[in-house]
Amino acid sequence: MVTALLDTARARRVAERVPDPELPMLTLADLGVLRGVEVGADGSVVASLTPTYSGCPAMAEMRADVAARLREAGYERVEIRTVLDPPWTSDWITESGRRKLTEHGIAPPGPAPR
């Protein structure tokens, strides 16, 4: 079981480094789009992404980039799932992501309305 947990942590680190195709100063993790990464007992990887909105044109590229990075890291069987519920919110942008936006002259969004 410990090996599976370590392998999941490694796969997550790989996926966390994938840059956003539209805002390359951010990773998908910074943006809060990367929702989860799991490695099964058979070595297969499932990564879950939530688009910033349901018609996001960059989703195909995000899915392909995450899958390619995981395969390059040695994971042969990779599945990328799109998760729409709960919907993405700007609250999911990490503090690091907000700092990077500011450093690049982009005002990070405030808290999502409740």
Q: Are 15 and 53 in contact (CB under 8 A)?
A: no
What average pLDDT does range 89-108 have in this prediction?
A: 94
The pTM score is 0.90
Domain at 2-88, CATH from 3.30.300.130, 4.10.640.10, 3.60.20.10, 3.20.20.60: 3.30.300.130
Confidence band of 4 (pLDDT split at 50, 70, 90): low
Residues 29-81: tens digit of each pLDDT: 999 999 999 999 899 999 999 999 988 999 999 999 999 999 999 999 999 99
d(CA 2, CA 60): 33
Q: What are phi and psi of 36, to 5 degrees?
A: -175, 155
Q: What are phi and psi of 23, to 5 degrees?
A: -130, 75
Is pLDDT of 17 > 50?
yes
**Domain extents in the chain:** 2-88
d(CA 79, CA 74): 14
Q: What are phi and psi of 25, to 5 degrees?
A: -75, -15
